[in-house]
């Protein structure tokens, strides 16, 4: 039996005036409300909703909206309403029927008394709103979408909140003093670096567009930055989000296109930023470790463009110029989000460059670290465990609670397990190291990966592969999944890696590694990459693949000796040999 009631009325002064006197709770009770238009919606909470509606109407900024819904429940308190408001903002923004007109500075995820019981009521409310057409999809479907995972309306954890507050303080300090300090946020896979970048873009837009008389809750996150003196520094402020990976960039473009104040034109490739006629006040670079140094590009056109950008920016085509130099040249201020351990090919920035960048940020007290694990239910312990296993320093098996880490000796069985998980919770996919050539790229009927009786094909699309209609039947590569979440990942560790029983270490097999750009020498810079060099990149690839799964990771290993090595550490998990 539901305890809430939804009251509906037109969004105009006469209707609100009559409604205000109909129930004492309209003027003195914590409620959550929505104001809806044809394709826009605003979500709020108030302890005097009648007065709050009059404020909205007097302000006039939302006068084009038409209908009010007020959610009343005698058991609601302020904490409950803040939680429900935040959840509605997150879910409606990701559902994409409406453009959500809220800012993101007030999103909360605070605990409070009896929260789980209240959230059961929320689920009943969401079902009711789905029936009424406010939502177009179920909550589980929304949660599995990229629009939700990369939403600027995410509730931040403490690490992220501290980092964003620190970034804002440093940025405004630099703007005030006319100085430039490179800002760095570093974190392991799953610590929410991309979320921080997207959230910050929306927050800066909201600060810049805020009005002096705009009413904010005093306890609203980052409310101090909406005060006089901050918005003025962002007058005519230009900024962009640079994302090196094509697939992730396209997903973020979709999110920005659905978010008021943001636009897909704000999302840039390194080439876009370098060739832009605009000089940016701020460039935020996600996955900064994936920026490129000078190397043979994927196409002749990109090789030519690299030269043209260098000459336009620096007056010469010195081979030492990198895409990091482009970012510095095209912006007055920079924020870099990075994890050097996710560098996956030699053309990426060298480790010494990112190390120097971090050192400079530390020196200027503009370095922030994300430690809390947001993706993997096994937590940061699991991330570190995977790193130690591949580094050869792990001493034995570990437990990660309910996180499913399973080692299979039958690929067909693992594939079937992924099918079953996809039916159960969705977003479960097979992924692998680049240990087989991509034959089906030119011959759609070809089999790329043949292991025993199981024949598989690589991803048929390079962009938004996870959500493509045939992805469950295919195998994704590092280039389609880096930066993304899965509920369950079925990882194939191919014959590019094996275990040397004599040397007692993992070794790399160049002949079984088929990413041409991933093992190509760099004659322009006079660099030849040894097998040991390439081993580091390939291990990074598998670290990324093995940390995509939110709920679990299933593993099949081609090399028997490597499988036996991993069994030693997976024993005691939800595993099978």
CATH number of 158-370: 3.40.50
pTM: 0.88
Instruction: Quote the DSSP letter at residue 154.
Output: P
**Region of residue 401 (left: phi > 0; alpha: psi -120 to 50; beta: else):** left
CA–CA distance, 30 with 81 (Å, rounded to integer)? 7
What are the residues whose beta carbons fall under 8 Å from the beta carbon of 13, sequence distance 6 or more?
54, 57
Tokens found for residue 269? 């490739």
Comparing CA positions, the residue from 452, 412, 453 lying closest to residue 430 is: 412
Q: Pick 379-570's CATH classification: 3.40.50.620, 3.40.50.300, 3.10.20.90, 3.10.105.10.
A: 3.40.50.300
Give the residue ranges of DSSP H helices in 394-447.
411-425
The answer to whether 377 and 551 are in contact (CB under 8 A) is: yes
CA 48 to chain centre: 36
**In the chain, where the domains are located:** 5-143, 158-370, 379-570
Helix (H) or strand (E) holding 233: none
Comparing CA positions, the residue from 449, 277, 244, 425 lying closest to residue 349 is: 244
The sign of the dihedral angle between the CA atoms of 270, 275, 276, 282 is positive
At 507 the three-state DSSP class reads strand
345, with CB counted inside 10 A (0-12, 13-18, 19+), is buried
**Cα–Cα separations (whole angstroms), residue 233 to 168, 174, 445:** 12, 11, 57
Instruction: Quote the DSSP letter at residue 298.
Output: S
Q: pLDDT by residue for the chain (577 residues), tens digit each?
A: 468 999 999 999 999 999 999 999 999 999 999 999 999 999 999 999 999 999 999 988 888 999 999 999 999 999 999 999 999 999 999 998 999 999 887 777 788 999 999 999 999 999 999 999 999 999 999 999 989 999 999 889 899 999 999 999 999 999 999 999 999 999 988 899 999 999 999 999 999 998 876 665 545 678 889 888 899 999 999 999 999 999 999 999 999 999 999 999 999 999 999 999 999 999 999 999 999 998 877 778 888 999 999 999 999 999 999 999 999 999 999 999 999 878 888 889 998 999 999 999 999 999 999 998 888 988 999 999 999 999 999 988 898 999 999 999 999 999 999 999 999 999 999 999 999 999 999 999 999 999 999 999 999 998 889 999 999 999 999 999 998 999 999 999 999 999 999 999 999 999 999 998 888 888 888 888 999 999 999 999 999 999 999 999 999 999 999 999 999 898 645 444 3
Radius of gyration, CA atoms only, the chain: 26
Instruction: Quote the DSSP letter at residue 108.
Output: -
């Amino acid at each position: 039996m539901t305890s809430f009631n939804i009251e509906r009325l037109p969004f105009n002064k006469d209707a609100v005036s009559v409604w205000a006197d109909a129930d004492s709770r309209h003027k003195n009770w914590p409620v959550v409300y929505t104001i809806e238009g044809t394709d826009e919606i605003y979500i709020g909470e108030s302890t005097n909703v009648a007065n709050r509606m009059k404020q909205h109407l007097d302000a006039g900024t939302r006068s084009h909206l038409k209908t009010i819904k007020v959610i009343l429940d005698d058991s609601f308190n302020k904490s409950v309403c803040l939680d429900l408001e935040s959840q509605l903002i997150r879910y409606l923004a990701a559902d994409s029927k409406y453009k959500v007109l809220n800012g993101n500075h007030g999103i909360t995820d605070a605990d409070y008394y009896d929260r789980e019981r209240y959230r059961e009521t929320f689920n009943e409310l969401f079902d009711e709103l789905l029936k009424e057409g406010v939502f177009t999809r179920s909550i589980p479907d929304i949660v599995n979408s990229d629009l939700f995972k990369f939403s600027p309306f995410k509730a931040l954890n403490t690490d992220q909140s501290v980092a964003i507050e620190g970034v804002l303080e440093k940025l405004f300090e630099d703007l005030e003093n006319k100085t430039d300090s490179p800002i760095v946020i570093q974190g392991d896979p799953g610590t929410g670096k991309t979320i921080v970048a997207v959230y910050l873009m929306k927050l800066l837009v909201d600060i810049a567009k805020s009005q002096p008389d705009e009413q904010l809750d005093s306890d609203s996150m980052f409310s101090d930055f909406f005060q006089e003196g901050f918005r003025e520094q962002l007058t005519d402020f230009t900024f962009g989000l640079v994302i090196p990976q094509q697939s992730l960039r396209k997903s973020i473009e979709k999110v920005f296109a659905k978010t008021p104040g943001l636009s897909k034109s704000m999302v840039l490739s390194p080439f876009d930023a370098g060739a832009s006629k605009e000089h940016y006040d701020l460039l935020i670079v996600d996955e900064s470790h994936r920026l490129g140094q000078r190397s043979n590009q994927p196409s002749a056109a990109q090789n030519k463009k690299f030269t043209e950008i260098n000459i336009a920016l620096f007056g010469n085509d010195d081979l030492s110029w990198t895409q990091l130099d482009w970012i510095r040249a095209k912006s007055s201020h920079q924020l870099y989000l990075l994890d050097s351990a996710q560098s996956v090919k030699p053309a990426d920035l060298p480790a010494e460059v990112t190390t120097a960048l971090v050192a400079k940020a530390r020196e200027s007290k503009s370095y922030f670290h994300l430690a809390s694990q947001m993706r993997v239910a096994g937590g940061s312990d699991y991330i570190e465990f995977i790193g130690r296993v591949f580094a050869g320093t792990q001493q034995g098996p570990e437990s990660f609670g309910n996180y499913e880490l399973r080692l299979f000796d039958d690929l067909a069985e693992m594939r079937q397990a992924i099918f079953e998980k996809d039916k159960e919770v969705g977003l479960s996919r097979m992924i692998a190291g680049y240990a087989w050539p991509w034959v089906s790229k030119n011959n759609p009927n070809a089999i790329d990966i043949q292991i025993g009786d199981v024949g598989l094909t690589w991803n048929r699309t390079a962009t938004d592969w996870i959500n493509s209609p045939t992805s469950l039947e295919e195998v994704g590569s590092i280039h389609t999944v880096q930066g993304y979440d899965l509920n369950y990942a079925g990882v194939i560790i191919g014959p590019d890696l094996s275990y040397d029983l004599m040397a007692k270490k993992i070794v790399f097999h160049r002949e079984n590694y088929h990413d041409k750009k991933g093992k190509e020498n760099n004659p322009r810079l006079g660099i030849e990459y040894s097998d040991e060099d390439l081993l580091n990149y390939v291990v990074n690839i598998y670290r990324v693949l093995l940390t995509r799964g939110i709920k679990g990771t299933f593993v099949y290993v081609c090399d028997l000796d490597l499988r036996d090595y991993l069994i030693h550490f997976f024993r005691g998990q939800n595993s099978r040999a």
